[in-house]
Amino acid sequence: MILSGARYVESPNCRPRKGESKGEGVEVDCIVLHYISLPPGQFGTGCVERFFTNTLDWKEHPYFKEIEGFEVSAHFLLLRDGALVQFVDTGLVAYHAGKSRWRGREEVNDFSIGIELEGAKDVPFTDEQYGALAGLVRELMRVHPSISIDNIVGHEDVAPGRKEDPGELFDWERLRRGIGRTENA
């Protein structure tokens, strides 16, 4: 699915879900939330979009040497003002979770949708982001009915010890209230 309310910027960092070529695609039943800012802690630079589309100038900032050559994407990026950018059709795998595991299943990218929130570990997310995220999650749950509230997780949950996002400042209860679900669906 390409969401009509999002600005679509196609990322090459994706692939069909396992089994797609045989008509047996893996069912999407999980959403993984992340935060990202490039350079770290700087917002509104456009660098995340260039990173996800393999057009980032690695010489633009010293930090970029640490991520040079990585092929990363997410299905969606929620900017600080609540604007939504989509990079990958939800029917495809985006490269957001890396080495990961959830409820006994490896390779979380294969059965999940990745949502990046423009943010940082020590910066609260905005009201606009929470509002837009709740609307996006409701729509994703409508289109992909196998997604349940207890399968909306953080990167820290699927890659513990390796990742820490969306972090301690993310208000999970606020998200649950926003999507209208406070218990398992």
Which are the catalytic amino acids?
A: 116
Q: Where are the alpha helices (DSSP H) in 36-154?
A: 47-52, 64-67, 127-143
CB atoms within 10 A of CB 38: 22
Question: CA-CA distance, 82 to 87, in Å (whole number)?
Answer: 16
On whether the CB atoms of residues 28 and 147 are closer than 8 A, the answer is: yes
Tokens of residue 74, six digits: 């997410």
Element (H, E) at 176: helix 172-179
On whether the CB atoms of residues 96 and 114 are closer than 8 A, the answer is: yes
Residue 159: name the closest of 41, 54, 32 by CA: 32
